[in-house]
Structure 1
C-alpha cells in the first residue's frame, strides 16, 4: 500500500513537472473601424490579397512549462480583403462600380506572429501583424507598409479566446492604418 501511494505521488509530480501542451485554434477577422464619409470613386477598385504565410502563427511557452501552438482556422487573405472592402464602402467608395481600367490595390499579409520569451516565471508575448500595400491608380504607383505590435505579460497560459481577441485587435489596427492613409484615399478618389 505504501509503494502504491508513493508511485501515485511520483506519477502526479512527473505530470505536473512535464507541463501542459495544447493547441489554440483562432480565427483572424479584422474589423474596419473608419469614420463614415461620402468619398466617391470614378474607377472600379480592385482589391486583392496574398500571403506566403501558412496557418501557423507561433507558440506560447510559459514559465511554468505550459506550451501551446497557435494556428489560424480561416482564410486570412479572404478576411483581410473583406475587411478592406467593408472599410472602403464605409468611406463612401463603391469598389465594384466605375470606369475601367480599375484602381488596383494589392495587399500582402507579410507578418502574423505570436512569440514568447520567459523571464523567471513571467511570460512576455510579442504579437505582430504587418501588411504591404501597392496601389496602382491614376497612372501612379504607391507602396506602403503598415504594421502593429503588442506586448503582453502573463504568468499562466492565456485562454484561446484571449489570444484570438489580441490578434484580431492587432489585425484590425493594421487594416485601419491602411484605410486611413491619405495617399491611398487620394489615389482612390
Structure 2
C-alpha cells in the first residue's frame, strides 16, 4: 500500500512544475487627451479604420512557469475610430459637416502586441501599439506612422486589469499622437 502523504506530495509537486495557465480578456478603448480648440473644417472628414490583426494580443509566460494568453474582446477598429472622432470634435472639428469631396483619413492598426521574456525569475513584458495613417485632403496626401512601446517587469503573473490598463495606455498615447500632428490638423482645416 502506498503512502498517502507521499502521493499527495508528489501530486502537488507535479502541479507546481506544470505551472498555471489562464486567459486574460481585455478591451481596448483609447482615451483622448487633447485641448479643446476652435479648429474648423470646410470639408466633411471621413475617418475609416482597418486592421489585419486578429483578436490575439499575445501571451505571458513568467519565470515560475505561469502562462496566460491575451485576447481582445471588442472591435479595435471601431474603438480607435470612435476615439479619433471624439478627439476631432474636441479640437473643434465637425467631421460630419462640410462640403464634398471629403477629407479621407484612413487609419490602419498595424501592431498591437504583448510579448514576454524571462530573465532568471523576472518576467519582462514588451507592449507595442502602432497606427499607420493616410490623409488625403486639399489635393495632397500625407502619410505617417504613430507608435508607442513600453516595458514592464513582473515577478508573478500580472492581473488581467493591469494588462488591460497598460495596453489602453499605449493605445491612448498613440491616438493622441495622431491627433496632435500639426500636418494632420493643417490638412483637415
Which TM-score band (shorter chain)?
over 0.9
Runs of 4+ in 1 over 3 A off after TM superposition: none
CA offset at residue 138 of structure 1? 0.2
Q: Which residue number in structure 2 is paired with residue 102 of structure 1?
A: 102
Q: Matched residue pairs, number? A: 189
CA offset at residue 180 of structure 1? 0.2
Secondary structure of the residue that 1:64 maps to in structure 2?
coil
Give unmatched runs, 5+ long, in structure 1. Answer: none
Separation (CA, whole Å) in 2 of partners of 1:33 and 1:77: 19
Separation (CA, whole Å) in 2 of partners of 1:156 and 1:124: 11
Q: TM-score, normalised by structure 2?
A: 0.99
Alignment of 1:30-45 (within 5 A): 30-45=30-45
Separation (CA, whole Å) in 1 of partners of 2:155 and 2:119: 10
CA offset at residue 2 of structure 1? 6.5
Separation (CA, whole Å) in 2 of partners of 1:2 and 1:50: 61
Separation (CA, whole Å) in 2 of partners of 1:91 and 1:33: 10
CA offset at residue 5 of structure 1? 1.2
Q: TM-score, normalised by structure 1?
A: 0.99
Separation (CA, whole Å) in 2 of partners of 1:135 and 1:32: 19
Q: Which residue number in structure 2 is paired with residue 182 of structure 1?
A: 182
Separation (CA, whole Å) in 2 of partners of 1:44 and 1:130: 26
Secondary structure of the residue that 2:3 maps to in structure 1?
helix
Q: Which residue number in structure 1 is paired with residue 119 of structure 2?
A: 119
Separation (CA, whole Å) in 2 of partners of 1:154 and 1:82: 33
2:68 paired with 1:68: yes
Q: Which residue number in structure 2 is paired with residue 137 of structure 1?
A: 137
Alignment of 1:43-62 (within 5 A): 43-62=43-62
CA offset at residue 17 of structure 1? 1.2
